Amino acid sequence: MTRNWCSAMPHGVRLAVQITPNAKRTEVVGVHDDVLKLKLQAQPIEGKANEALVRFLADALTLPRSAITITHGHTNKRKLIEVAAPALTPDAVALLLLPA
């Protein structure tokens, strides 16, 4: 059974992401190994990459930054993120985040 990178929760969605810091620009790479891969322009020091990740997701999903919470993997490249938006579905997240 494969795990999906985006799953529904009672109060929103949960995302499994893998980041690559120090990229030339911030962008979504795609889905690989059941995680959403992202490149972040920020450096992985003093939480800058985590801040950039939250800011990027909030902008892409048109939500306030307070709706995005990193629940696991604060110091890891793989992270679990909870998005508090009851009206948001995994299909809507995929449309907003995945490259066409």
The three state secondary structure string of 32-97 is ECCEEEEECCCCCCCCHHHHHHHHHHHHHCCCCHHHEEEEECCCCCEEEEEEECCCCCHHHHHHHH
Greatest CA span in the chain, whole angstroms?
Answer: 37
Per-residue pLDDT tens digits for 32-69 = 989 999 999 999 999 999 999 999 999 999 999 999 99
Question: In the prediction, which pLDDT does 2 show?
Answer: 44
pTM of the predicted protein model: 0.92
